[in-house]
Amino acid sequence: MKYIKDYTIKDVQDVYDGPGGLLWEAVMGEQIHSGGPETTDFLAKKLGLKKGQVVLDICSALGAPARHLASKYGVMVKGVDATKTMLQKAIERTKAAKLDNMIEYFEANAMDLPFKKETFDVVWGQEAWCYVTDKNRLLQEAYRVLKPGGMIGFTDWIITGKITQVELDPLYDSMAFPYMETFEGYQELLKKNGFKVVEALDQTDEFTKCFDQYYDMVHVQLKPNIMQNFGKDLFDFASNLVTIWQKAAHEHKVGRGFFIGKK
């Protein structure tokens, strides 16, 4: 039985409308996912992105991956996010980068996409769907808005080993996650919703290396910045978070999954 906690979209909005989003940016970079632009290029290349394609980034946050994809691969991007502060910053930064002719943002829930069926060549997601309360519904929506033959590519924080409810509790609480999918679970969900699974990779080793870096950054380089700009309570929060996630990743209980599917 899946262990599900009572975190909702409101809890996610509280994190990203508050200092959480900027704290994440300070630690992970403007592309708020482990591995930064390199992992974005890895996903883009696996998907074979081509100039002129229309990509939907579900949970686009500050829009940094969208800008990367538009400027480097010549794709048009629609970004969807549920948090106003993230959307506002994404819009400002996209305008400043003069990419607003290629990228448009929409305020919406990932589980109820404001697009007609068969609109996109590619559905894209990076390390955010762990917040979504019903990932089956999300993949149903992804399938609906993809053109026939379209591709889905995403990474996410997942369960990659044996882990108890007691161990999951503090991890979920630190992130306001309702639940994480497993490596096998995502592949089953893709198939159940009509996708062919083209590739699935357990990238826990890379995820663990990133957490080793985040642990050092929070406790050494970034400590004065976090203390000064975010305060001691948020420093303690970040310190606890990187400590417990680093440990669970080293034990190969949690990590990053990478998935490519075709409609």
Ligand X SMILES: C[S@@+](CC[C@H](N)C(=O)[O-])C[C@H]1O[C@@H](n2cnc3c(N)ncnc32)[C@H](O)[C@@H]1O
Exposure of 124 by Cβ count < 10 A (0-12 exposed, 13-18 middle, 19+ buried)? buried
Give the one residue of 23, 44, 56, 59 binding ligand X; rule: CB under 6 A: 59
90 vs 222 by CB, closer to ligand X = 90
- Strands 196-202 and 254-262, sheet pairing: antiparallel
State how far the Cα of 6 lies from the Cα of 159, in Å rounded to an integer.
Answer: 18
Cα dist from 154 to 120, 129, 164, 227, whole Å: 15, 9, 26, 33
**Nearest 5°: phi and psi at 261?**
-135, 165
Instruction: Confirm or reject binding of residue 180 to ligand X (CB under 6 A).
Output: no
Q: Give me the least distance between CB of 9 and ligand X, in Å please.
A: 5
Instruction: Confirm or reject binding of residue 94 to ligand X (CB under 6 A).
Output: no
Instruction: Confirm or reject binding of residue 61 to ligand X (CB under 6 A).
Output: yes
Give the one residue of 77, 122, 123, 128 binding ligand X; rule: CB under 6 A: 128
Give the one residue of 44, 77, 82, 226 binding ligand X; rule: CB under 6 A: 82
DSSP E strand stretches across 10-74: 54-58
Of 103, 31, 105, 46, nearest to 74 by C-alpha is 103
Give the one residue of 34, 73, 81, 99 binding ligand X; rule: CB under 6 A: 81
Give the interface segment with ligand X, choosing from 41-49, 128-136, 181-189, 196-204 (CB under 6 A): 128-136
Task: Quote the longest CA-to-CA distance of the chain.
Answer: 51
Give the interface segment with ligand X, choosing from 105-113, 168-176, 194-202, 246-254 (CB under 6 A): 105-113
Q: Give me the least distance between CB of 103 and ligand X, in Å please.
A: 13
Instruction: Confirm or reject binding of residue 33 to ligand X (CB under 6 A).
Output: yes
State how far the Cα of 253 lies from the Cα of 248, in Å rounded to an integer.
Answer: 5
Give contact residues for ligand X (rule: CB under 6 A): 9, 12, 16, 31-33, 59, 61-62, 64-65, 80-83, 86, 109-111, 126-128, 131-132
